[in-house]
Amino acid sequence: MTPEKSDTNPAAGPNTGMTRRSFLRGSAVIASGLAALAASLSPLRELDDAPSAEQFLQKYYKELTPAEMARVLKRIEDEVERQYGLRPHVRDLKPLDGVEFVYALNLTRCIGCRRCVYACVAENNQSGTPEVQYIRVLRLPDGSLDLEKAEHFYHPESVPEKGYFYMPVQCQQCKKPPCVKVCPVHATWQETDGITVIDYDWCIGCRYCEAACPYWARRFNFAKPSVPKDRLNLNMAYLGNRPRRRGVMEKCHFCIQRTRVGRYPACVEVCPVGARKFGNVLDPASEVAYILRTKRVFIQLKEELGTSPRFFYYFDV
Amino acid sequence: MIGAIRNYLVFLGRCARIAFVGDWRYYSWMGVLSVFCLLGLNAYARQFAHGLVVTGMTDEVSWGVYIANFTFLVGVAAAAVMMVIPVYVYNNEDLHDLVIFGELLAVAAILMCLAFVTVDLGRPDRFWHLIPGLGQFNFPASMLSWDVIVLNGYLLLNLHICGYLLYSRYHGRKPARWFYIPFVLLAIVWAVSIHTVTAFLYVGLGGRPFWNSAIVGPRFLASAFTAGPALIILALQIIRYVTDYRITDRALLTLRSIVQVSMLINVFLLANEVFKEFYSGNLHVASSKYLYVGLHGRHALVPWIWTAIGFNLVAMVLLVLPVSRSLRWLNLTCVLCIIGIWIEKGMGLVIPGFIPTPLGEMLEYRPSLNETLVCFGIWAFGLLCYTVFLRMAVPILQGRLCKANESAAPWTSALAGGVPGVKS
């Protein structure tokens, strides 16, 4: 049978209308198409942190029953142990009743030494490469709060420098947080003690909150975060400093793993000049309540935006 | 019932088959698009494996060309309404048989939009968190949740309208008005909503003064109704060239009038914004300064935005002059409109919103090669979809692919006597 005749071959079936030649040609096209598709997908072989079924299907934080939460915490501990060879203690710490945390920062005292930045990195298991930091210290010329005049990368021999003052900025824990409003999946919310938290296992990584934050307080994990093993802080909280994954947001959470068990945030503890004050504003005897009662002038950064920060800058007058 | 389903499946099967049949021009065009699709897929696979670190985005500039293209394409999708309104509200005869090409373009544009937002996600595996009922949908607080609803709704509306009209034509039946006219009217309002909601994504952010301006929404619509119909003018001429589908010059000139008015409004609104930003001279002008003249020695976007403004102004003048009644000049004008608005509304809108950062840091953004390849891939995917839609729709509209010739072997009938709808 010649190839030309195959066009009229009744064996091909009256309704398929497909000849052997067109079938072969079609198969060749499909096969090479599939090969090209497979080749184009080959970088997926380098994927080293694909989610397990358990991770993929994990429920939203607020919907986890205590038993489910216990399983999740154990899974996280297992994951950390597998990666670092050290077993952490991961807790799900709830906000305490009758507590609303407030931060006060004395701009007269701050010397711009950035010890808070490094203490925060160590306490909160922040990635070294790529570098993630929650606190940014701005150097401003005396007399101006125009942030456009801020120098972010000052590096003198020693601080403080004449003619400048320093303003550390981190999450302002707003009472009306724009980041919470814009999140399309409720992955970030404000807790009763005033801390805005992120469920790292629920965030889809759209970065809308990052665009919405007027304080540039949020950070995105553009790559897989890496924490040096000898720096790993094993005291972890689910909504706090447990290791994050690639592709999710994170930010300052007032050191939930410390403050919800009665300790100070790492940045407060490390500050050598006592510029940082932290406490429960609902307790009249607390230092922050005293400061807010007695100081005449505060700055709530970008007050005009109506975000109502729980972070107050003040001066010694 | 089973018969109806069977009929519908046969219809879909024949549509699918015809998408694989064409002349050498068709095959080479589809081949080139497929290559770009695969290159884009390859780049995306790399991003999927390593994270968004392979893009040019940073914490400082956290949205880039993905969201820029997304914004532009929402406008293209919304612009279909500029054909729908003349036809269904004002009974325009010239555009009557062409409106479906606008709606199909909207479908392709929305598919591209969805692809662009998906590639922008840090954790695409968690997309199900966005599905109402299954995940946690922050509606109505988050503008992004509104966008999910309006974009998918618009996609469904247009799929229904196009699908139903084509299926009716395939059967040689007159479409039942009650089964599509209400959806057409709804789609008009819906088209405006998709672009308004997308504008509100930006407008709603109090911490970004460059976006937090009431004029962004109107500007979005004006630019969309310029670039969208301009794209349709070009698409229609290509359809006319490669098929023997009847498209009159009068139809193209009707669309020209739409582009003309929209461009005038667009340039006017731009002037409004520039005046407000620079004349008042408050500190919020930083982003605009960066965009138009550069700030603190950084001016990556300056040549782009002036190219865009130049293109828009030249296009506006050409549109006002009678010279653009000749198709050659009209085509040039359309290309200028499309490029000008793509720059202005994509990169020109998204990037300066991040520069300087809310803390005054200056860090510029440049898309990486990988990111650019993903963009090309998605554009190729969209063009591929649109080509396939047209490949199916044109023979159906011409009556060459219909119920009547179903009994003949569908594969060979498509080949017999040349390819339907394609000039031989």
Predicted confidence (pLDDT) per residue in B199-244, tens digit: 999 999 999 999 999 999 999 999 999 999 999 999 999 999 999 8
Which of B34, B53, B135 is nearest residue A185 as measured by Cβ atoms?
Answer: B135
Cβ <8 Å between B359 and A60: no
Query: Which CA distances in Å does B385 have to A139, B24, B36, B109?
Result: 53, 18, 13, 9
| pLDDT for res B5 | 92
Chain A 240-259, CB below 8 Å of chain B: which residues? 245-248
From the CA of A274, how many Å to the nearest CA of chain B?
24
Q: How far is B237 from chain A (nearest CA, A)?
A: 31
Mean pLDDT by 10 residues, chain A (317 residues): 39 54 84 92 90 92 96 96 95 96 97 97 95 97 93 96 97 97 97 97 97 97 94 96 96 97 97 97 96 90 95 90
* Parallel/antiparallel/unpaired status of strands A89-91 and A235-237: parallel
Predicted local confidence at residue B406, as pLDDT: 80
Out of A32-36, A59-63, B396-400, B402-406, pick the least confident. Answer: B402-406
Amino acid identity, position A1: M
CA–CA min distance A105, chain B (Å): 17
Q: Do A40 and B135 touch (CB under 8 A)?
A: no
Verify whether the Cβ–Cβ distance A247 to B206 is below 8 Å.
no
Bridge partners (DSSP) of residue A168 are A137
Measured between CA atoms, the residue of chain A closest to residue B411 is A17
What residues of chain A, 127 to 156, have a C-beta less than 8 Å from chain B? 130, 136, 138, 146-150, 152
Q: At B337, is the pLDDT very low, low, confident or very high (cuts 50, 70, 90)? A: very high
Q: At which residue do the structure tokens 């297992």 appear?
A: A78
Contact between chains at A184 and B148 (C-beta distance less than 8 A): yes
Which of B:234-263 have CB within 8 Å of A? none
| Whether CATH 1.20.1630.10 fits B56-367 | yes
For chain B, the domains span 56-367
B277-285: average pLDDT: 86
How big is the A-B interface in CB pairs under 8 Å? 195
Digit-coded pLDDT (tens) for B147-162: 999 999 999 999 999 9
Residues of chain A numbered 206-225 and touching chain B (CB < 8 Å)? 206-208, 210-216, 218-224
Judge contact between B361 and B286, C-beta under 8 A. no
How far is the alpha carbon of B134 from chain A, nearest alpha carbon, in Å?
Answer: 10
Average pLDDT along chain B = 93
Q: Which of A51, A148, A184 minimises the CB distance to B356?
A: A148
Under DSSP, is residue A106 helix (H, G, I), strand (E, B) or coil? strand
Peptide bond preceding A88 in cis form (omega within 30 of 0): no
Cα(B198)–Cα(B69) distance, rounded to whole angstroms?
12
Residue A290: the pLDDT is: 95
Nearest CB partner across the interface for B207, out of A148, A202, A214: A214
- Residue B417, pLDDT > 50, answer no
Mean pLDDT of B175-189: 94
Question: Chain A partners of B138 at a C-beta cutoff of 8 Å?
Answer: 183-186
Cβ atoms B67, B116 nearer than 8 A:
yes
* Residue that wins the pLDDT comparison between A64 and B404: A64
b/e B142-173 (16+ beta carbons within 10 angstroms → b)? bbbbbbbbbbebbbebbeebbbebbbbbbeee
DSSP string across A142-157: TT---GGG-BSS---S
Residues of chain A contacting residue B129, judged by C-beta atoms under 8 Å apart: 60, 185, 187, 202, 204
Contact B58, B364 (CB under 8 A): no
Cβ-defined contact of A169 to B359 (cutoff 8 Å):
yes
Our CA-based measurement puts residue A36 at a distance from the nearest CA of chain B, in whole angstroms, of 7
pTM tops 0.90, yes or no: yes
How far is Cα A72 from Cα B15, in angstroms, rounded to an integer?
49
- List, edge to edge, every strand of the sheet that includes A276-280: A276-280, A101-106, A311-314, A298-299
Q: pLDDT grade, residue B2 (50/70/90)?
A: confident
Helices (H) and strands (E) in chain A, counts: 9, 12
Q: Which of B128, B138, B289 is the best residue to mutate to test the A interface, defined by the most A CB atoms within 10 Å of its own CB?
A: B138
| CB contact (8 A) between residue B412 and residue A17 | yes
Domains and CATH numbers, chain A: 101-314 (3.30.70.20)
Instruction: Look at A219 and B59 and tell me if their CB atoms are within 8 Å.
Output: yes
Place of tokens 């507590």: A99
pLDDT single digits (tens) B52-111: 999 999 999 999 999 999 999 999 999 989 999 999 999 998 899 899 999 999 999 999
Which residues in chain A have Cβ-Cβ distances shorter than 8 Å to B120?
206-207
Model confidence at B408, in pLDDT bands (50, 70, 90)? low
A317 touching chain B per CB within 8 A: no
For residues B265-273, average pLDDT: 95
Q: Give the nearest chain B residue to A148 (CA atoms).
A: B360
Across the interface, whether the CB atoms of B361 and A152 are under 8 A apart is answered: yes
User: Residue A3 gets which letter from DSSP?
Assistant: T
Q: Which residues are bridge partners to B322 per DSSP?
A: none
